[in-house]
Amino acid sequence: MIERLLDEARRRARGADAIWRRVESTSVSFDWGRLKAAGATEEAGIGLRVVKDGRVGTAGTTAVVAAGELVDRALASADLGATVELALPAAAPLPDVPTHSDRAAGASLDDLIAIGRALLERLTRDGCQVSVAIGRDVSETRVANTAGAHAAYRTTAVSVSAEIWRFAGDDVLMIGDGWDGCDLPPEDRLDALVRSITDRLERALRIVEPPEGALPVVFTPPGLAAILLPVTQALSGKAVLQGISPLVGRVGEEVFDPRFSVTDDPLRSGRAASRPIDDECVPSAPLPLVTRGSVRSFIYDLETAARANTQSTGHGQRGIFSKPVPGYTNIIIGEEARGKGEAVGELGGGLLGDMQDGLVVDELIGVGQGNVISGAFSHPVALAYRVERGEITGRVKDAAVAGNAYELLKKIGGFGNDDRWYGARHAPSLLLEGVSVARR
């Protein structure tokens, strides 16, 4: 289908590219200790982008349609589309990156249910409710364009998540964690997941008063979203074009702590977001964005790169019905040697020893709301622990943290020894000084 589609588009437009993707999704969920749902779905579709008279149009379908019909739709879209000098990449050698596991692809529904039941049994506690979810996607992707570039690859993605809920009067406590990768989870990773949840649960049973003032705060790998989200948004070429990135014009400048680095690595082995080529036929490669505190680059797809008069970095991502946009794959925080561990480490990452009074923040409420890209944040805590004289003394409620990510990341108090994957981000805990902590 993709070849016939491009042949038709080649006759009627200056250039075109297309993506075909099929995804088989299997999911299992346990709620309150019982199997709630288990099943599988499958979806496939093809998306087309054409360039006609300097204008770009898109069309997509998950149905069986004639190639000419889909080209008609894309050309009609181009009549109303934006003008851009879009140069489609030619064929090029592709890197080799493992993205598919036969074991994960061949796992039965019963195999996934067995993983869920085992976790359920290990996490069951008196007075608590347990939820577990297992997901497995098996996908095949093909991309091609009229300039001769083409590629196909397969991906498996497995996710495991678990939550413990505890209700005690008006106190509702939820603690969860997860694991994901291309293969089924190894037993030691499930062990680490259970330890992570049960350890944090035990530490959270005692409620203490929150501290107040400008204090040292350790943000765990799951709790780092409010700190890292402004930075990743600002490193997008789309934000650069819109003129809203605080990092515009600062390439080569030391903006952050000299120990702080950010890399996007689509070639990371065993990760579900890895791929040898992006959705616009640009070969994948690791991209240093911040190196030792200095801004190095921004992520671009073909269109944002053309508008910025630069080259695509191979970060074009698209859905079947949408045009490509710049999107991250695997974000690595820290020095280049980091990013290999997967175990869940000690809460706080070994950063608490010299802390006289402060917090460990594991989860915040409302991350992503407001003017994120400015770096300013102010969020109530969903799960946080007080630290007194180097020890966690209990969980705090009715507290909020605030600050500016760019200012806090200029002088990092320490990097934890607990670097791990959390979704598609790999990071250690970070100790940040002078975070505003207030009682609510």
Instruction: For residues 400 and 403, give the distance between their C-alpha atoms in angstroms, rounded to a whole number.
Output: 11
- Position 50: which residue type? V
Cβ atoms within 10 Å of 206's Cβ, excluding its own: 12
Per-residue pLDDT of the chain (440 residues; tens, 9 = 90+): 899 999 999 999 999 999 999 999 999 999 988 999 999 999 999 999 999 999 999 999 999 888 899 999 999 999 998 899 899 999 999 999 999 999 999 999 999 999 999 999 999 999 999 999 999 999 999 999 999 999 999 999 999 999 999 999 889 999 999 999 999 999 999 999 999 999 999 999 999 999 999 999 999 999 999 999 999 999 999 999 999 999 999 999 999 999 999 999 999 999 999 999 999 999 999 999 999 999 999 999 999 999 999 999 999 999 999 999 999 999 999 864 444 455 566 899 999 999 999 999 999 999 988 789 999 999 999 999 999 999 999 999 999 999 999 999 999 999 999 999 999 999 999 999 999 999 98
Cβ-contact 70, 122 below 8 angstroms: no
Q: Which helix (H) or strand (E) holds 104?
A: helix 102-106
Q: Which helix (H) or strand (E) holds 406?
A: helix 405-408
Q: Which helix (H) or strand (E) holds 60?
A: strand 55-61
How do beta strands 213-219 and 34-52 pair?
unpaired
pTM of the model: 0.93
3-state secondary structure of 1: coil
Domains of the chain (ranges; CATH) run 2-204 (3.30.2290.10), 207-439 (no CATH)
pLDDT of residue 288: 98
Among 430, 255, 218, 422, which Cα is nearest to 339's?
422
How do beta strands 420-422 and 399-404 pair?
unpaired
Residue reference for tokens 């190095």:
296
What six digits make up the tokens of 219?
Answer: 């943000």
The two counts, helices (H) then strands (E), for the chain are 9, 22
Distances (CA, A) of 138 to 44, 281, 311: 12, 21, 31
Q: How large is the angle between the packed helices 67-79 and 2-12, nearest 10 degrees?
A: 50
pLDDT of residue 440: 82
Residues 6 or more apart whose CB falls under 8 angstroms from that of 63 comprise: none
> Can you spell out the DSSP letters for 295-323?
E---B--HHHHHHTTS---S-EE--SSS-
| Exposed e or buried b per residue across 76-99, where buried means at least 16 C-beta atoms within 10 angstroms of its C-beta | ebbeebeeeebebbeeeeeeebeb
> Can you spell out the DSSP letters for 207-276?
EE----EEEEEEEPTGGGHHHHHHHHHHTBHHHHHHT--TTTT-BTSB-S-TT--EEE-TT-TT-TT--S
Cβ-contact 103, 184 below 8 angstroms: yes
Q: What angle do CA 175, 372, 268 make, to 5 degrees?
A: 65
pLDDT of residue 295: 98
